[in-house]
Structure formats: C-alpha cells, structure tokens
Structure 1
Amino acid sequence: MAPGCATSPLQRGEVSRAAIAQSPAQLFGPLFVEVQMRRLFADGKTFVDAVPRRDPRAILADYRVAARRTDAELRAFVQANFDLPAEQAPVADQPSRPSRPLLPHIRALWDDLARPPVEPEPGGSALAFDGAHVVPGGRFREIYYWDSYFTMLGLREDGRRDLIEGMVDGFVALVERHGHVPNGARSYYLSRSQPPFLYAMMDLSDMRDPAVLGRRLDALIAEHDYWMRGGRVVTMADGALLNRYWDDLDTPRDESFREDVETARASGRPAATVYRHLRAAAESGWDFSSRWLADGRTLATIDTTDLVPADLNSLLYGMERAIAARCRVLVRPCAASFERRADARRQAVERWLWDDAEGRYGDYDRDAGRIRPGLSAVTAYPLFTRLASPQRAARVAATIDAKLIAPGGLRTTRIDTGQQWDAPNGWAPLQWIAADGLLAYGHDGPARRIAARWVATVQRGYQSSGKLVEKYDVETVRPGGGGEYPLQDGFGWTNGVTRAMMARWGIGD
C-alpha cells in the first residue's frame, strides 16, 4: 500500500470479517452435497440461491433423522424447508415477437432488470448490496462484478445516473465489508473476485463530492491490495510482479458442485488442484475457454493458475493509473507510488505477454516458459487500458482485422471446443474492449466493423425472438450456445454494450 494513503480503517485492512456470510455448502454440509450430487434441480444454482424457512441447524437436524430418502422425498423435504427461486426456462422455450424497435426496448429493460438495495435474509446466500442496481437477467438474479461495467455503458447513454451511482456505491460497500468486490453478490462467490473494472465504473460517474471521492479511492486502494496478496501474485524470472486469476478455495464451486466433481474425476489429477483451476477460471469471467486448457480442448486439463493473463494485468495497470490520478486530484501523497507500479507493470506486460511473431498479446504459460498458443480476444485488452505502444497497437489491430472479426462481430477464440468462451461465440464485453481500444489508437476501420456487425447481430436476434441474450454465435449470426447452463436472456451487458455502440458509432435503429 502506498505511503501516506492509509487514512481509513478500510485501508488499514480492518475489514469486518463477521459480515462474511457462510456459503450454502458450509451451512448445509451433507444436505447440500446430496441435493447437488443427485441433481435434484436441473440448475445447480437453484438450491444455492434458496432461502431457508427456519434455522439451518434445525433443518440439518431433521435431515439427519432419515438415513435415506428417494429423490421425490428429498425434493419434498427441500421444498418444505426452503423458498426456492423460480427455475428459468431456456430462451428457445420462450418465443415472442418484438413489439417495439430495439432502442426503446433496451431503455425499457433497465427498469425490468433494476433491483432495489438488497438486505440479506437469514441463512440465505445473498449478500447485502447498498444501492439500486441492475442484474444481468435469467438465472443471474444478483449483481455481478465485471458485467456491471458494460451494463453501465448503456445506462450512461440513457441518462440513468441513479443506477450508475447506486452500483458504484454498492460495490464500494462490498469492498469495505469484504476486502474486495466478489464475483457476484452471493456468499458462495466470496472466495474470488472477477476482472477488476471498479476503477472504470467510477469513471462513468458524475460524482464530485470530495468525501465520496475519498471513500471511493480508499476502496480502489483496498482492492489493489487484495490483488497484490497471496496466490494472485506471480514473480517472473526477472523479478517483475504480475498477477494471475485465483480462488482462495480448492473445493467444488457451490453453484456447479456436481459438474466440478465430475470434471475432477475425469481428469486423473488431484481433485483439489482441478477445483482451484476451475474456480480461478470462474474469476476470469471466461468460464470456460481453451485459454485455460493445457491440451487446448479438454476441460479436465484445465490449468488456469499456471498462466499469467494479459487481460487481468492490463486491467491492474489501468487501476494503478486511475489510483494515481485520483491521488493527485485529492492531493494525497500516493500518486507517485502508483505511477511507479503502473510503469513497472507496463514494462512487464510488454516483455512477458507479447508474442512478436504473431503480433498479439496472450497468456504466459509458466510451465512451458512461453505464451500459450491460440489467438483470442484478450489481445485487445492492452489497447483498452492504453498500455500498448502505438507500434504494437497497430500490429494488434492488423491481427484482429485479419483473424478475429467474424460476420457477426469479434470472435472470442478461433477454436471450437464446445466451451462457451470459444468459437463460435462472441460476447458483448469483448466487443466493447476491442472496439474501444482500437478506436483509442486511431484504428477506426476495424473498430467500426466490430461495432456494426455486433449491433446487426443483436438486432437480427431481437427481430426473430424479441430478446437480447447473453452471447451470440458470430459465425452464423444467431444466439450462442455451449457452456454449463442454457442460454440466458435479459441481458445486462448485451443491452449496455449494444446501446453504447449505437450511440458512439451512430448505427442501428
């Protein structure tokens, strides 16, 4: 932590750990395991989002009375003791026709997806969230970290400052309570974060109150401290410090418990190792992708924590630069320290995460001693955070233009593994990262092509179904597929990025 910046209990690390809720796995132990392993519900997220109707200890005591229950009996027990969330029908099962053009539809969706501040219910997995906010939609009933930045891009265009300020303040409060912004506002997400976009969210705010800005700076410094501790820090061969995705736990994810157990069993590797890699990939937001697979194809070979990723380190560079700028504005003696950190990180990224032969940024494989093969949209991140030199940005632009722009937008990768963060899927956040980064370095042509093709893809999907969905197939220009769960609609970041692209590039209806 920078000298002279420790001005609050938050920055001194005095986070109230009493505020950290237990996860469903911790609260319900054998009942939780049985429900998840027997796949009592089609979606593993259903039970972990349920709220107990009475003291969890009493529920567990009654559960232990019977040595064995049939699936029907176990389901009846759960339904008698928990308030369960509504299970979401797949998008394909909910056909509808659009009743209005896309732009007014997106504007109307903000209120549909908006939620008031959250006050947790005893025994439930929801975390307190202090501000009004927007959720992604579908099975994603709570606010998520990196999703929210891209949602807020659209909120800004539609003048929803109320929701932007509510979301920023809510995330700041999460840092104050837990020491970081978790993956999402659930107890079972507390052991990990997601790509750190909080500094970029703050840049979308109009707040000018020095007291509020000071509190927000404290939160950014605390978040930076979180990333610079423990397993998330990697020392490179030259002594440079970079970061990797990590999770503080090495157990199956609560929300994907059975899936993780089955993946570990199929791997022939120590289960705890596999669980850590799966959890770390979830922290990356790319769950899952060939980026994280040692053989480039098979989930059982996942090795996320062995990699030093270009996206995370680009974002941490952006965070360090943002902290330095805010220190200067608030006349705190921490600007120089964070400028030095940013400069050191930029040099390390340019040394370790640049592939000169292929003209791209990528993820450094520490075991192999080289950048992992396989071009992906991650190459655009150093442009988005303005880390790249103009010369390297030009080479990335040429690579993206030649190899990653598909008929329907930006490709995520060029490999079809069946995982959702691979071909043929395209994702809203990656469209914005690439288009914004390219535009910042003067590469207007490929930036506009990405934006125009993405908006056209979203419009085509909307005209055929009346919905905006989580991901799209950018090769055949239709809703996407793959992954652990059915395609979800709503959808926060698709709405936000599409709305912002329509405004910036003057495209669409």
Structure 2
Amino acid sequence: MQNAPPASAGIHTEPAGRHAAAERHPPPDTHTPADRYEELFVAVQREAVFADSKTFPDCAPLGAPQEILAAYRQACTAPGFDLRSFVATHFAPQRPALASQAEAPAQDLRHHIDRLWDELTRHPDQHPHRGSLLALPHPYVVPGGRFVEMYYWDSYFTMLGLAASGRTQLLHAMTDNFAYLIERFGHVPNGTRTYYLSRSQPPLFACMVALCEGCGGQGALRYLPQLLREHAFWMDGAQALAPGQAHRRVVRLSDGALLNRYWDERAQPREEAWREDVATAAAAPQRPAAEVFRDLRAAAESGWDFSSRWLGTPPAGAGRLQALATIRTTRILPVDLNALLHQLESRIAQLAAQAGDAATARRHQALAGARRAAMDRWLWNEEAGAWLDLDWPEQTPRRGLNAATATPLFTRTASAAQATRLADTLARRLLVPGGLAATEQCSAEQWDRPNGWAPLQWMAAEGLAAYGCDALAGEIRARWLRTVDAVYQREHRLVEKYALHAHPEASGGSGGEYPLQDGFGWTNGVTRQWL
C-alpha cells in the first residue's frame, strides 16, 4: 500500500482534542463495554475468555457495571485469580438468534421463511438490563446467528420479505424504530449496540420509508424530518471544506465537487472484533495503529467488512492479516454510498415539494444534481463501462470491479446509456453460475469471490429491471434462487452468504472473521420477495 499523502496533499485532519474528548466522555446511557469495563474488557478480550470476540461486548451484566469493575480491580491481583470464573459469575452471554436444524423442515422454502419471522423477532421487553443493547420502542427482526440486534442496511432487505409474507405491521414497526434512532442519535447506528454508535451503514432509510408507504403504512412525508437529519449527518462539515480537504464522511475534490466516504468516529479496535483488529494492526508495523483501526471501522460502516475493494497492494506472499492491514477505506469514495445519497437527496426534494417547502426542495434538488454530475465526472469510467470507486487523494479509479457498481441503477442515478454499458459489463465480468459475484477478486475475505450476497443480487437485479435490462435481471434472480434453494434442500437452512458455484454444488459462503451464520434476515427477505 502506498503511504498516506503528506499534509501538502490537502487531506484535512480535524483537531484531535474534540474526538478524543468525545471518546473519553460519552453520554452515560451510551457507554460501550470498553468504556464501562476498561482494563477488565481488555483482559477478557486479550485472554480470549470467549472464542468469539463479539460474545463479551454482548453479555448482560448481572450487577451494576461500576460495581463489577470495582470487584475485578480488588480481586485481579489476588493469588489464584481465575478470570474465566469471574466473568461467568458476573456476566450472562446472549444466546444465538436461531439454532441450526438437524432435520429437514416440513415446509417448502417459502413457508419456511414465513415461519422464521417469529423466531427472529425481538420485543422491547426482552432487552437485557444494563447491557450494550440499545432500547427500541417497537418489535424488530434480527439477522440470525451471532447477530441478535437490529442492523441498519440488513433490515431493509429483511423488510422486503416481511412485505411479501404479509407481515406489514412488523415492517411498519421497524420503520418507526429507525426513525426513533435518528431522532435520538442523529443517525442510524450500524446496529443497535452502544459499541456501534460511532458509525452508521449504507443509508437505506429512504428505501424503508417508501416500502412502508407502499404497504399501507405511514405516508413518507411523515418521515421527512428524519430524512433531513440523516442527510445532515452524512454531510456534516461540508460547507467549511476547501478543495482537497475532507471532514468525517465528506470530501471536497479538486474541482470543488462534494462526494462522500465511509468513516467512524473512533480510532480504536472494534469492540466486537477486538482481538482481530489488534492482530491486524500488529501486521502493519509501518502504519499507525489508530489509522488501521479507523479504516477497519470505516469498512464496517460500509457493510462490506471485509473485501479487496478496500485494500492496497499487499507484499508478495502476504497472509490474510498482512493483506488486511493494507486497508485504506477512508481514502476511497464508494460508488454505492454516493448513489444512495443521491437517492436520499432526490427523495427529500420530492417530499419537501409535496409539503410546500419550496426552498428545501430546490436546495436538495440542486444537491442531487451536483452529486450526479460529480459521480459522472469522478466515478463513471467509460473505458470500463462501469462505475468505479475512487482513490480520492490520488484522484484515480480503483482497479477491479465490484457489485456496488450496480447501485446507481437501483437508485436511478445512471443514464440510459450508462445502464446499457453497465449491463454488458456485469454480464461479462461478475455474472457467475450462482448469481452475481461480489468482486472479481478471490481472497480470504468474505466480501470477495466466490461469495455472493442477497443485497447485492437485489440492488443489481432491481436496478437492471428499472432500465429495461430484463433478461439479465431475470438471470440474476433465477441463479440466486437456485443457489439458495440448493443449499436449503441439502442443509435445511438459509445462511448469510453463499459460494456461487453451479447447481448443485452451491454452498454456504466462507472467509472473513467468523463462521457462517444461519438465519438469515436479508437472505430470507430477498428470497421471499422473489419467490
């Protein structure tokens, strides 16, 4: 990986004191497990008391956290202190969301998914006291497996399935939960845990609002205040930027155009992957650890954690950790994020006009037009016939195609000519026997080949269909459904990701930091909608 550009390259760094103070003194009701348990948290993670780094941050304390920490400090230096026994005495691990089935279910795939919704639904009165789980006012669906909280972008694709299953009341409740999160925190967190509050995920609340309205729920206009507030979160600091500068999630390019990147407010190991992040930073001794942590967290905000999409060029013969240590997410302006923000700006303009707020409508229509022009200039690559992510300090497109290139079709950002070119590119470079591949690169990361993911299939197929590319859209849908059904018939489960081999060799996906998870929210949602 190339070294980060010097200050003269125009990268703006916010004064360290403001974020440092915020990290040291978060609001009391949003303290993360690392905030609360300090050296106890580090000891539990470092000594691998639990095999999965996510287990301890998700534990429910069996007493007041400050009293548990005091008890640890008093006991930890005593001869024969047993950390595992101490943790077992003071914490209760959360159970996985859904257990694997040993026997074939009686239902076909459609009815199996319909039955899963109740098993994956959680209610506010089930929230453990004093844990990391954020309280919500309404019921919601969790993805499955180790993921026993509500996630941002997962939920939109899950909600598609709720609509198809006729579970519209639950769909409406989830939309209101997301509105509540924006009202309380100013953004939708990555997931409903305190340790996720420093980042968001791909902004799909506008899509949820449209889906809710289309299923007889609250009109979209009701959610205009939350849409405006989410947009303000992503654009924070934009007005003060000079060309070549960046602040949080916004970058002003050399021509004055504004585009967005992924970011995280903290530059520390992710609490749910503490050991993994510490090991990754140690594999890059030439880089400041905080820089590695920030880029890992920013990739988690993207939802693509992790992928060659975010990596530099690893040394020859590098292992997985050395390759991952080249991560450079904050240097990259992603196609999908900017397309979704174009959609958000366009939707705000439409709703503001409907509300009679002409000034807000004009302002956001202008923002949407400026973003589309910036995307055409900086992200559309005529030679490749595709939208490509941009390394903004270098002002060069990222090599290698990934499935996020189809998002401008999903958001109606592309022109008809671009859609035609892109359909040809997708068919030649990313269409494989089992569906649409995440990238062209095979790696040990889960968002690379051979894996495919439900949200990528949905956005590509629905986007292609919107531009009249029905044959390719239908082919992606058919190949994906064959993949999901083949694994279901053989293993009696739906999973988080799939290895897109030809039927009947299709299998659950692999790679990444944790084992394959069952459930699974967005797979259920996209599959049920297409069935």
Please, what TM-score do these two structures have when normalized by structure 2? Answer: 0.88
Which runs of structure 2 are paired with 1:227-266 in the superposition (5 Å)?
227-229=234-236, 230-266=247-283
Partners of 1:119 and 1:128 within 8 A in 2: no
Q: What letter matches 1:178 in structure 2?
A: F
Verify: 1:285 aligned to 2:303, yes or no: yes
What are structure 2's unaligned runs of at least 5 residues?
A: 1-25, 237-246, 315-319
Taking the aligned partners of 1:73 and 1:454, their CA distance within structure 2 comes to 49
> Judging changes above 3 Å, is the alpha-carbon distance between structure 1 residues 337 and 19 closer, same or farther for their aligned structure 2 residues?
farther
Letter in 2 for 1:250: A
Q: Give, in whole Å, the separation in 2 of the partners of 1:473 and 1:180.
A: 33
Q: Structure 1 pair 19/362, CA: closer, same or farther in 2 (3 Å)? A: farther
Q: Residue 210 of structure 1: CA displacement? A: 11
Shift of 1:415: 0.9
Q: 1:149 to 1:19 in 2, by over 3 A?
A: farther
For 2:373, the equivalent position in structure 1 comes to 347
Distance change (3 Å), C-alpha of 1:338 and 1:20: farther
> In the alignment, which of 329, 339, 363 is matched to residue 389 of structure 2?
363
- Distance of 2:295 and 2:68 partners within structure 1: 33
Q: 1:378: how far off?
A: 0.9
1:44 aligned partner: 53
1:266 CA drift (Å): 0.5
C-alpha separation between the residues in 2 aligned to 1:90 and 1:108? 14
Asked whether the 8 Å contact 1:360–1:379 carries over to 2, the reply is yes
Q: Is the Cα–Cα contact under 8 Å of residues 321 and 342 in structure 1 kept in the other structure? A: yes
Is residue 53 of structure 1 aligned with residue 62 of structure 2? yes
* CA distance in structure 2 between the aligned counterparts of 1:351 and 1:61, rounded to whole angstroms: 57
Among 341, 345, 351, the residue aligned to 1:326: 351
Does the Cα contact within 8 Å between 2:349 and 2:365 map onto a contact in 1?
A: yes
Q: 1:141 aligns with which of 145, 148, 161?
A: 148
CA shift at 1:101, angstroms?
0.6
Task: Give the CA deviation at 1:119.
Answer: 7.2
Matched with 2:157 is 150
Percent of counterpart pairs with the same letter? 51
The one-letter amino acid paired with 1:29 is E
Is the Cα–Cα contact under 8 Å of residues 259 and 374 in structure 2 kept in the other structure? Answer: yes
Of 522, 525, 531 in structure 2, the residue corresponding to residue 493 of structure 1 is 522
- The partner residue of 2:212 within 193, 205, 209 is 205
2:69 counterpart SS class: helix
Aligned to 1:6: none
Change (3 A) 1:70 1:454: farther
Q: CA deviation at 1:185?
A: 0.5
TM-score (norm 1): 0.91
Q: Does 1:480 align with 2:494?
A: no
The equivalent residue for 2:130 is 123
Report the Cα offset of residue 86 of structure 1: 2.7
Task: State the AA in 1 paired with 2:229.
Answer: A
CA contact (8 A) 2:97 2:142 kept: no
Match of 1:390 in 2: 416
2:489 is aligned to: 463
The aligned residue for residue 8 of structure 2 is none
CA contact (8 A) 1:252 1:260 kept: yes
What are the ranges of 5 or more consecutive residues in structure 1 without an aligned counterpart? 1-16, 503-509
Counterpart CA distance in 2 for 1:227 and 1:87 is 32
Distance in 1 between residues matched to 2:486 and 2:214, nearest whole Å? 37
Q: In the alignment, does 2:361 pair up with 1:335?
A: yes
| Residue 13 of structure 1: aligned partner | none
RMSD: 2.1
CA contact (8 A) 1:138 1:488 kept: yes
Q: Specify whether residues 88 and 439 from structure 1 end up closer, same or farther in structure 2 by C-alpha distance, changes over 3 A only.
A: closer
Q: Which one of 51, 56, 76 corresponds to residue 85 of structure 2?
A: 76
Whole-angstrom CA distance in 2 between matches of 1:51 and 1:204: 34
Letter of the structure 2 residue corresponding to residue 83 of structure 1: A
Aligned partners of 2:143 and 2:150 also within 8 Å: yes
Q: Which residues in structure 2 correspond to 1:79-118 (within 5 Å)? A: 79-86=88-95, 95-117=102-124
User: After alignment, is 322-331 or 409-418 more displaced?
Assistant: 322-331
Alpha carbons 1:90, 1:487 under 8 Å: kept: no
Q: Is the 8 A contact 1:133 1:166 kept in 2?
A: yes
Aligned residue number for residue 411 of structure 1 = 437
3-state DSSP class of the match of 1:245? coil
Q: Which amino acid aligns with 2:43?
A: E
1:369-389 superposed Cα distances (whole Å, 9 cap, x missing partner) = 211001110110111100011
For the 8 Å contact 1:90–1:488, the answer to whether it is kept is: no
Secondary structure class of the residue paired with 2:149: coil
Which secondary structure does the structure 2 equivalent of 1:100 belong to?
A: coil
